[in-house]
Structure 1
């Protein structure tokens, strides 16, 4: 970025190297970073409440004289002091204390305590409050006290002092200048940036505490708007950069010859939703710009058939397609299904995985490089150095959130190494539905297609919550299902024993179930099995030779056995909502009624109870995803730490939907009308993080 668009305040802070190192741990590298390191909460030391009239349920400040000081040994060693004012008294209890504090808080000393008053063994009390020795009539704080996120060796006082210096003493020219045009500030009635920053670091005494803490105060609204705007501007710029590149134009010049033959051989019809998204993808492939589309669809909605249609469009135009999946089980499932579909069309499908022997691998590599295989299916092995494509026109990535940013980029680079310099089209697929606000925010630079209906004939899966002490009922249910000719999954979260989690292991469970169900064929599959054994076990299960399959979560995605009508998930309370929903989607793929039993151990934590309640009450993946976002926040939901996306620090997508919508509108206007302001705004908020790519 040239100097004309740089933001003042980017120079390193004038502090010692040791201090620089500590600040860097908080993501603070320059004056602007420090200014935007805003308080996580506030303490109100601007008021003193009489002890007997102080409000309950929130932190309050009281002042009084110590009338009693004692180290109590039972029920545990603690320092107990009684503090009195004209209205009454309370106890201060310090469970961890130094000998110097016993002397400091001597009888007769006047103190101010900040904390929450509760009623305990000693009556009204404060446990471990913030405590200061003061003089009578000592002035109160003139503003709310900010509390910052700190790190080891960098206490609150030091960080607050440094922030105060930058804001008040250094007076760096332009540090708090506006990056937004005056027209936009007036149109959206935004407070000015400078006053917002100052108000959040030093809120005046009359500032409503609840609005500050909930981040609904106007100054917070301005900061959150600016943050969302920076994200939207960055996304829009990346979208424009991609649109400036050239991709192979995979038009429909052959009048859908392969497409029509393919659909003609299927024993089912596409749903209206599948036809709609296939048409959207088809139009993108025919464009001269690289497609960057995310295909969303709930478990069992039929994303693979849509991907197959896209692959055929590339193949008809003489270009190869690569399809990458995160696990060998899922990749092999795709390979088998696509081979079955494409063999009658005369299309060779190559299979590539990390577990292949060298002698099996060489002919596959040769077929991909020569173009004999026009479709290559595999795991991350597809983007290894020795893999060369003849003419890669389309990269399809299933369960894209399970791959790191560099892995996705590496597959695309395989196509860019071609002599033509054309960038392959990219289709990403996800069965983890993305809530609307998340899509608007973190996927703003992608085109999104949604398959919003399930194929006809799918019966909803009944979910049952069963405590671990009712295993006998579960065993009876399994016997009943198997006697009726159905098949069963029993899912365990770990392979090896873990003393800390005390979870049932797949190995132990397999051995136990073999004894209980001596008359049934019981199989075992987990991630550490050799690829051939794993594939063989899954084939036997699909063919009905195995009635009960004990598995780890390697079966979470892609496994399709219509005859499996019952699933038992062990230690369901330990799993995330997305994983539970994905696993549940492995049953209910036939026409008969299916059941998913969630076995849980008591006692349940509050978060586990919420998760199980959500999965029990909802079958719609989008609603589950929305509630999951609410529980976990976007960082964990997206796996964003491995994807390269800068996370939001202040804005809350659940709470700030209106700000996000406004930021989207403003982003387009700024890029078109005020490009210099847009660059300054991005630089202020994202700095060096602007170079990440969505791939």
Structure 2
């Protein structure tokens, strides 16, 4: 660790405060320096009561004229103060005897709070106060994000102390041009503000600053912080990619067959019941070219719902197997992993069986005897492809010669889990090839920032025969109409999904639940088999329900979001999502993609409910409007990024790679492009400055980018 950022914050706090500081990640002096205020209070001036308007938050200096505890209508402390221009009553519903004593009649106080007018005159509810005296501050008072056991006064002192100790050497290379979006002055584009100057200003801004520029992060001081943060992210991503380029990986090339025979890959393509789309062929070539190099592939395969990522994964596995190595495919849920297993066995075993090879299955729910048999197949190499859930990375799983790992819905796995899988593959000084798949298209700004260390392949074409899905947004007051529509669909031989957000009743949230909805639909649709599926059911029970639905025996499946990804039932033509306003956009899009997989016209009904005031939240409206207006996964992803921020897309990746704290990927694209352009040059020409910069912002967290 580089010296300027190695020093921990001084441990002078009581243990509770220390624990709270550690919980907030405030360990080093630089952590405290970068812990910026949520908002500010203006304690630089005294306002006369006669000049205070109703609703203003002001600071007054006044003498206590009356102080008493009232017991009706409830116990409260009432303190009347007078500043010579008017009176104000301070009300405290929660107070200590020491506070009451410090507000005795005759005491002169400095009081800050919101002034409210009323029948009984001016009032303040629970204002902050202290004894008057001393000079007024020259800067705005910061209010920091905090935690239980860490009061603002202590945090302010700790940060002020850290700011005096912390070393902030300039890490930007000499002559670095400012980003285009940096502020314009009288003489044109101004240089970036120095980091120490920017931090000092943000911790203690002068009273004449336009508060709006602090709140919307447009002030030049904020520009410096955001530019620094984005540069650290880009440096760490590019460095991780450059370090991987120095590693060795198995060279996976399909051997030339005997004259008159087909390669394993050609056999695979020949026996598929469909042809690959142009987009699938293109990404298969990109992946095959990567695996044929002696460098570890680190590629993200993204494609919209139903674009055919599984067959691309199977094709990649065949290239690996044909080269004489093993492949593993890991999925986040047992339902999705089993679906992959069923498809891959059907596609690959006819080709693998004559070679004495198999597709193995690993899951946490396997019986001991079955699991032992599968582990033996994996260890011997007889299992050319291993499909499973998190069970694939458990300690007792030993591979014979694993060279390719495919991780489906990669954002559902934590960084530590992906690192564990990579360690499974490391042998003879070789690194694995890694193919990560996502059905949530990544918006451009996310690809430029959080996925800068990956090569990205995009399937931007749907297979022929996919029918467009009509999306309807309907109030839950019309639920009976929807149930009638379900009856008509089932009578026509179609199947229906009904998705609920909760499994059982919750006192905290008045939402429909899967169990109650299953009962209601069973009663409303006599003669129709209505199934129930949720994550708490035993594995065998879940499997039996899915088999009935997949076979077309079950007409309606009531489920939680356990069917969000991968479930493929071409006969299902109607998706009903209850309390749709509570779901994220990408999740709604995934659920919608469970229908429209066959030739029948398909629909998705988004049932929404309003609050007690008869209103739908603005965020809920935005989500439902986006779903109704477009089926394009990339547009859905862009809007979801606007509404919810990058956490929705990154999922568990953030457990190692911290989300951006200050920069906004939608608003700060120009800063991001500046950082992307500067990072490679800085790594090459100024490696010491790059290391210092990464340590300042990420510390040890940059190690997780290797996943």
Q: Same fold (TM over 0.5)?
A: yes
Of stretches 90-99 and 644-653 in structure 1, the one that deviates more from structure 2 is: 90-99
Q: Where does 1:535-684 land on structure 2 (aligned, <5 Å)?
A: 535-603=543-611, 604=616, 607-635=619-647, 637-640=649-652, 643-684=655-696
1:495–1:8 Cα change, 3 Å: closer
1:457–1:68 Cα change, 3 Å: farther
Deviations 1:438-458 (A, max 9, x none): 222222211122223322332
**TM-superposed deviation, 1:580:** 2.2
Q: Where does 1:127-526 land on structure 2 (aligned, <5 Å)?
A: 127-134=125-132, 139-168=135-164, 175-184=167-176, 189-254=191-256, 257-346=263-352, 348-417=358-427, 420-526=428-534
**TM-superposed deviation, 1:667:** 1.2
CA contact (8 A) 1:20 1:29 kept: no
Q: Is 1:45 matched up with 2:43? A: yes
Of stretches 372-381 and 338-347 in structure 1, the one that deviates more from structure 2 is: 338-347
**Structure-2 separation of matches of 1:91 and 1:320:** 77
**TM-superposed deviation, 1:166:** 3.8
**Structure-2 separation of matches of 1:423 and 1:361:** 27
Structure 1: segments with no counterpart, 5+ residues: none
CA contact (8 A) 1:300 1:585 kept: yes
1:176–1:387 Cα change, 3 Å: closer
**TM-superposed deviation, 1:241:** 1.7
**TM-superposed deviation, 1:7:** 1.5
Of stretches 142-151 and 52-61 in structure 1, the one that deviates more from structure 2 is: 52-61
**TM-superposed deviation, 1:252:** 4.6
1:167–1:564 Cα change, 3 Å: closer
Of stretches 140-149 and 155-164 in structure 1, the one that deviates more from structure 2 is: 155-164
Q: Which residue of 2 aligns with 1:690?
A: 702
Deviations 1:187-224 (A, max 9, x none): 88211122112212222333222212222211121122
1:58–1:645 Cα change, 3 Å: farther
**TM-superposed deviation, 1:412:** 2.2
**Structure-1 separation of matches of 2:440 and 2:503:** 25
**Structure-2 separation of matches of 1:26 and 1:475:** 49
CA contact (8 A) 2:490 2:496 kept: yes
Q: Is 1:6 matched up with 2:12? A: no
3-state SS of paired residue (1:566) = strand
**Structure-2 separation of matches of 1:529 and 1:14:** 49
Q: Is 1:15 matched up with 2:17? A: no
**Structure-2 separation of matches of 1:669 and 1:325:** 38
CA contact (8 A) 2:253 2:291 kept: yes
**TM-superposed deviation, 1:304:** 1.0
1:11–1:512 Cα change, 3 Å: closer
**TM-superposed deviation, 1:41:** 1.8
Q: Which residue of 2 aligns with 1:32?
A: 30
Structure 2: segments with no counterpart, 5+ residues: 181-190
CA contact (8 A) 2:226 2:663 kept: yes
Of stretches 151-160 and 221-230 in structure 1, the one that deviates more from structure 2 is: 151-160
3-state SS of paired residue (2:558) = strand
1:126–1:625 Cα change, 3 Å: farther
Q: TM (normalized to structure 2)?
A: 0.88
CA contact (8 A) 2:442 2:649 kept: no
**Structure-1 separation of matches of 2:285 and 2:538:** 40
Deviations 1:396-443 (A, max 9, x none): 0101121222222222222214xx332220101111222222222222
1:522–1:446 Cα change, 3 Å: same
**TM-superposed deviation, 1:66:** 6.5
CA contact (8 A) 2:413 2:653 kept: no
Of stretches 281-290 and 66-75 in structure 1, the one that deviates more from structure 2 is: 66-75
CA contact (8 A) 1:178 1:194 kept: no
Q: TM (normalized to structure 1)?
A: 0.89
**Structure-2 separation of matches of 1:396 and 1:8:** 37
**TM-superposed deviation, 1:267:** 4.3
3-state SS of paired residue (2:642) = helix
3-state SS of paired residue (2:473) = strand
3-state SS of paired residue (2:217) = coil
1:101–1:650 Cα change, 3 Å: same
CA contact (8 A) 1:26 1:151 kept: yes
CA contact (8 A) 1:42 1:213 kept: no
**TM-superposed deviation, 1:386:** 3.2
